[in-house]
Structure 1
């Protein structure tokens, strides 16, 4: 066999090294393939670590949950800022008699300043990873949900989230408000708003309010919004408030969600 090295004859090498060189030459394709897998493994490991760093969500925070969200990627939206589906005639009809109405009040929703926060492309959990809110802000947001429920006990109630981690409190439609509107789908079971530890939140808005919230920079669709009946079409991620003025906007959006979902 010819030497693998241009200036060294194979037979001049020690016997153990001869065996290694011979095996490498015979399995060069295998070795090349293995080297090609290394970068892919690095990408997958980083992706998994990013998934775990988001914390608990709708899927288990473990390898099985990560694999599940990978499998769901083909179903997910490529562009969560595209609002064209929110004003198609078919979806307007499916959103119920109040889907085309706004519940934000007469005052126009202001434009959110600055860039949108970073939201990694995982199907679930959907979280922002920049410009997150402080713990006291998150506590105030959850307190506001509680106040909404206390002021409207016939329509709303606070329970543990069913869409996300059960450690999160969520605003639900009262159990006696059944049957649920068709647009809420089979998976929400009446859950309409919840807040994440990062300060971002999910809410079900009317078609009009979801479009305005997205186009004014306050929100984006979930990757599975309106996909295969998994989540409502107007299930949006509302970004974490950065200051008191944005908390007021967040309260308007949450109140609009409550008004819309209890109008049916």
Structure 2
């Protein structure tokens, strides 16, 4: 009888945990997986076991300390503590939200990049999010056979980055640039951006330098985001000298 009581108690606790976790999943809003019980179950039991821990998202020991872009090395340290993030997919920023006035400026940054470099960039629906537009390596350039295009671009199917409704940004940087962004507290790894030596590397088409860039809170931080987006484009397209005007 005590065993049955203990089992019932454990099952009840599990159901309560599932209910709370499901509500937290819905609170993140739509993005990627189905926005329902099926989507929650897939993320919780099919994906979360392979994800980085909360403490692992600032790991940089697998990234090189040298070889990044000079502009990234000159990036200052972000002021204040890190923003709080939640979820895996969707992956969202839960604190330090930028003012609404920043939204169109961040959108414009991606649009201007695609307009300026139509031979190597394009804007279309994100393959990760499915609800927002994303900046891509153009299909023509991705399939050109250019040896300077990194494996990361193939893994991501060309997706470079996108903005979320909370104005945070998912972005692929080079390994050395990712180290700069994380150590200076502008970003952290997506929880599926596991190191390249992990047995679950590149799972779900997520490579090791897929980062969450915290939302730009003012014009100064937007200027730093611009540096990161330019560096991401250089890395993912294999073209240097990208400047968004």
Structure 1 and Structure 2 fold alike (TM over 0.5): yes
Which residue number corresponds to residue 30 of structure 2? 56
Choose from 83, 88, 99 the match for 1:117.
Answer: 83
User: What CA distance in whole angstroms lies between the structure 2 residues aligned with 1:101 and 1:194?
Assistant: 25
SS of alignment partner, residue 85 of structure 2: coil
1:32 positional shift: 4.6
SS of alignment partner, residue 208 of structure 1: helix
Q: Rg: which structure is higher?
A: 1
Q: TM-score, normalised on structure 2?
A: 0.84
1:169 positional shift: 1.1
User: What CA distance in whole angstroms lies between the structure 2 residues aligned with 1:123 and 1:107?
Assistant: 28
1:28 positional shift: 6.2
User: What CA distance in whole angstroms lies between the structure 2 residues aligned with 1:32 and 1:198?
Assistant: 42
Alignment of 1:38-49 (within 5 A): 38-49=12-23
SS of alignment partner, residue 14 of structure 2: helix
The answer for unaligned runs of 5 or more in structure 1 is 1-26, 89-99
Q: Is the 8 A contact 1:101 1:206 kept in 2?
A: no
SS of alignment partner, residue 160 of structure 2: strand
Please tell me whether residue 133 in structure 1 is matched to residue 102 in structure 2: no
Q: Is the 8 A contact 2:77 2:185 kept in 1?
A: yes
User: What CA distance in whole angstroms lies between the structure 2 residues aligned with 1:105 and 1:127?
Assistant: 27
Please tell me whether residue 246 in structure 1 is matched to residue 215 in structure 2: no
The answer for unaligned runs of 5 or more in structure 2 is 144-148, 195-199, 240-245
User: What CA distance in whole angstroms lies between the structure 2 residues aligned with 1:135 and 1:175?
Assistant: 33
SS of alignment partner, residue 227 of structure 2: helix
SS of alignment partner, residue 58 of structure 1: coil
User: What CA distance in whole angstroms lies between the structure 2 residues aligned with 1:106 and 1:133?
Assistant: 22
User: What CA distance in whole angstroms lies between the structure 2 residues aligned with 1:151 and 1:125?
Assistant: 30
SS of alignment partner, residue 254 of structure 1: helix
Choose from 157, 167, 173 the match for 1:205.
Answer: 173
User: What CA distance in whole angstroms lies between the structure 2 residues aligned with 1:115 and 1:235?
Assistant: 21
Q: Is the 8 A contact 1:172 1:192 kept in 2?
A: yes
User: What CA distance in whole angstroms lies between the structure 2 residues aligned with 1:29 and 1:84?
Assistant: 46
My pick for the range that moved more, 136-145 or 203-212, is 136-145
Count of residue correspondences: 224
Alignment of 1:156-167 (within 5 A): 156-165=121-130, 167=131
Q: Is the 8 A contact 2:72 2:231 kept in 1?
A: no
Q: Is the 8 A contact 2:201 2:208 kept in 1?
A: no
Cα 1:229–1:185, aligned 2, differ >3 Å: closer, same or farther?
A: farther
Alignment of 1:1-264 (within 5 A): 29-70=3-44, 71-78=46-53, 79-87=56-64, 101-103=67-69, 105=71, 108-120=74-86, 122-165=87-130, 167-179=131-143, 181-186=150-155, 188-226=156-194, 227-230=200-203, 231-263=206-238
Which residue number corresponds to residue 242 of structure 2? none
TM-superposition CA deviations, 1:186-238 (whole Å, max 9, x none): 3x210101000011111110111100000000000111114432311111000
